[in-house]
Structure 1
Amino acid sequence: MSQHLPLKGQTGLKRIFNAFNYSMSGFKSAFKNEAAFRQIIYLNLVLLPISFLLDISKVEHILLIIVGLFAIMVELLNSAIEAVVDRISLDRHPLAKIAKDMGSAAQFMALSIITITWIAVIFL
């Protein structure tokens, strides 16, 4: 398909520049508007320095960093789901509840992965 969709924007370097700006806007919006996102950021700001104090291998250290970044990514997706659901309607609806609950469950799993990984790296 050679025609661009009307809402797709630019190509090449301009697209990459725009995508970077959209991403930064997303981070700023999440930090400003989402308490759970801020909490995940603060958790990472505590855990990351602690990880440098541990006597662990480089691979284990990278793993501790990756699980923290994973939780940030999941929270961004969870917040996006919530925003879309709220955009459609603020009315209580069973499908809206399911969508929001599933996003919350995904974040619970991400936090569980952080916990399990840290326990495994430190104690096993």
Structure 2
Amino acid sequence: MRNQPKYSFFKNTGYALNGLKDLIKTETSFKIELILTLILLPLIIFIDATFVHKALMFISLMGMLLAEATNSAIERVVDLVTLEHHHMAGRAKDVGSTIVFLSISVFVVTWAIVLADIYQ
């Protein structure tokens, strides 16, 4: 039997917003990336770029937040299972950090390529 309540759009939206509130409250990295996102979103709107360029910029920016949320979820589950040092727990957390690192790399490269193409 699965450990989840019956599907309800409004309840599920509430769970998602609770998770977002918790991330903002407890995760410094998420807060930093969220502030960066809020600063850069208007730039995407007002920059003189094609729709495809803007979409790539937006997707790479949101990917960073998605990766940080995923990493936080991995870390919390690992900490729930064990607070003792275990090599597999460390490996799981390292993979979560790799997800964040790769998403930031994709963000930086995407923005650099798009901005270079626009302002060449």
* TM-score normalised over the length of structure 2: 0.90
**Aligned CA-pair RMSD:** 1.3
What is the match of residue 71 of structure 2?
Answer: 78
Which structure has the larger Rg over C-alpha atoms? 1
Large movers: runs of 4+ above 3 Å: none
What is the match of residue 91 of structure 1?
Answer: 84
Q: What runs of 5+ residues in structure 1 fail to find an aligned partner?
A: none
Q: What runs of 5+ residues in structure 2 fail to find an aligned partner?
A: none
**Identical counterparts, % of pairs:** 32
Q: Distance in 2 between matches of 1:36 and 1:112?
A: 15
* TM-score normalised over the length of structure 1: 0.88
Change (3 A) 1:119 1:7: same
* 2:63 aligned with 1:63: no
Q: Distance in 2 between matches of 1:26 and 1:49?
A: 25
Q: Distance in 2 between matches of 1:53 and 1:119?
A: 17
Tell me the number of residue pairs that the alignment of Structure 1 and Structure 2 aligns. 117
- The residue type paired with residue 65 of structure 1 is F
The worse-fitting range, judged by mean Cα deviation, of 51-60 and 67-76 is: 51-60
Matches of residues 111-122 of structure 1 in structure 2 within 5 Å? Answer: 111-122=104-115
